[in-house]
Amino acid sequence: MVMMKRMFFALPLVLVICCYSTVTTLAQSPAAAPAEALAPSTPPTDIIRILQKAGGFTTLIHLLRTTQVSTQINSQLINSNGGLTFFAPNDNAFSSLKPGLLNSLNDQQKNELIQFHLLPTFVSTTDFSTLSNPVRTQAGENPDRLALNVTSSGNQVNFTTGIVNATLGGTVYTDHQLAVYQVDKVLLPRDFFVAKTPAPAPAPEKTKASKKKSAEGPAVPAADDDSAAVTVKQLNGMFVSFAVTIVAVAAFLL
Ligand SMILES: *[C@@H]1O[C@H](CO)[C@@H](O)[C@H](O)[C@H]1NC(C)=O
Ligand SMILES: *[C@@H]1O[C@H](CO)[C@@H](O)[C@H](O)[C@H]1NC(C)=O
Ligand SMILES: *[C@@H]1O[C@H](CO)[C@@H](O)[C@H](O)[C@H]1NC(C)=O
């Protein structure tokens, strides 16, 4: 009878310990996995290095860095299968802008300007004739404010935004995942020049998120760790109270 009582007392404890260790292992294993996946086998593509090597893109490089779109491009290249196409205005293109125009843009507009030069797919020189207008850029889909139209004939590729007409100058870089083409003008979207209808505050965009990241260090992984830790802590708490209850009930019954 004493033996029975002991078993009755011990069984819930064994169950609790088993369940507890299983759940703890399950909670920890997903966090461990990404660390291995991060180790790169080949040096990743770096848009800044490509433009530095080509030369004549000082202003563009500065903009890519201050908006942090360079970081976004590099990580998109790691994570996306469709590739990217980047129309790169050189320093001459920037110096032919209306004086003061670039400085008049706020951070969100500078980000939009660079995204407007990015297509979320790899487009080879022979693919331009297959694009349908307006072409979708990473600035978003607004045919009235963010239209980028491409026309091509033979080797010649022209762009119009409704504000600017530009011509594709040549291939800066291509690796079948990223294509970088020089353009002779900065592609200014109509969005900068037509009055905005009053709208709800713009949704928090990548500019803000990535800025915050740079100010506070790598915030995103930390936040993930925190939430995982909270979950494990909550589970710990749950199992401790569960165990205490079982033991109390068992003691009471005996
Ligand atoms: C491109 O624009 C130039 C003028 O800048 C024009 O002469 C040429 O015909 C255009 N080509 C195409 C394919 O639109
Ligand atoms: C772009 O092309 C579309 C479709 O052909 C046309 O409706 C639109 O007016 C064009 N926009 C510009 C700025 O050329
Ligand atoms: C762009 O080209 C079109 C003709 O293709 C012309 O009507 C328009 O005025 C040009 N715009 C600018 C800003 O040069």
Residue 234 reports pLDDT greater than 90: no
Nearest ligand to the C-alpha of residue 167?
1
Question: Which ranges of the chain would DSSP assign to H, the alpha helix?
Answer: 2-38, 47-54, 58-67, 69-79, 91-95, 101-104, 107-115, 206-216, 219-253
- Report DSSP state, residue 159: E
Domain of 96, in residue numbers: 47-188
Question: b/e map of 205-227 (b: 16 or more CB within 10 Å)?
Answer: ebbeebeeeeeeeeeeeeeeeee
In angstroms, what CA-CA distances link 144 with 191, 202, 203, 207?
A: 8, 18, 19, 23
The span from the CA of 210 to the CA of 67, in Å, is 9
Is there a domain that residue 241 lies in?
A: no
The span from the CA of 165 to the CA of 173, in Å, is 23
Kindly give, in sequence order, each residue whose CB lies less than 8 Å from that of residue 80, ignoring residues fewer than 6 positions away.
120
- Split into its structural domains, the chain has a count of 1
R_g (Cα) of the chain, nearest Å? 28
Highest-scoring range by mean pLDDT, 1-10, 16-25, 68-77? 68-77
The span from the CA of 236 to the CA of 238, in Å, is 5
Is there a domain that residue 203 lies in?
A: no
> Can you give the pLDDT at residue 37?
54
> Can you give the pLDDT at residue 128?
95
Is there a domain that residue 61 lies in?
A: yes
Is there a domain that residue 41 lies in?
A: no
Nearest to 164 by CA among 150, 177, 182, 181: 150
Is there a domain that residue 118 lies in?
A: yes
The span from the CA of 162 to the CA of 134, in Å, is 11
Q: Average pLDDT for residues 193-204, to the nearest whole number?
A: 70
> Which stretch of 52-66, 136-150, 196-210 has the lowest confidence by average pLDDT?
196-210
196 falls in which pLDDT band (50, 70, 90)? confident
Return the best residue to mutate from 131, 133, 165, 191 for the ligand 2 pocket (most ligand atoms within 8 A of CB).
Answer: 133
> Can you give the pLDDT at residue 203?
62
* Higher per-residue pLDDT: 167 or 36: 167
> Can you give the pLDDT at residue 15?
41
CATH number of the domain bearing residue 176: 2.30.180.10
The span from the CA of 207 to the CA of 7, in Å, is 61
> Can you give the pLDDT at residue 208?
46
Question: Is 160 close to ligand 3, i.e. is its CB under 6 Å away?
Answer: yes
Burial of 74 (0-12, 13-18, 19+ CB in 10 A): middle
> Can you give the pLDDT at residue 55?
97
> Closest ligand 2 atom, CA of 149?
1
Q: How far is the CA of 151 from the centre of ligand 3 (A)?
A: 13
Is there a domain that residue 209 lies in?
A: no
Is the pTM value of this prediction over 0.85?
Answer: no
The span from the CA of 177 to the CA of 77, in Å, is 7
* Higher per-residue pLDDT: 37 or 123: 123
* Higher per-residue pLDDT: 128 or 242: 128
Q: What percent of the chain has pLDDT over 70?
A: 61
**Tokens matching residue 134:** 């307006």
In angstroms, what CA-CA distances link 37 with 30, 72, 79, 224?
A: 12, 19, 12, 16
> Closest ligand 1 atom, CA of 156?
13
Is there a domain that residue 63 lies in?
A: yes
Reported as a single tens digit per residue, the pLDDT across 141-174 is 998 999 999 999 988 999 999 999 999 999 999 9
Is there a domain that residue 245 lies in?
A: no
Question: Is 214 close to ligand 2, i.e. is its CB under 6 Å away?
Answer: no
> Can you give the pLDDT at residue 205?
56
DSSP per-residue letters across 162-221 = SS-EEEEEEEEEE-SSEEEEEESS----GGGTSPPPP-SPPPP-HHHHHHHHHHHSSHHH
Q: How far is the CA of 149 from the centre of ligand 1 (A)?
A: 13
The span from the CA of 252 to the CA of 180, in Å, is 75
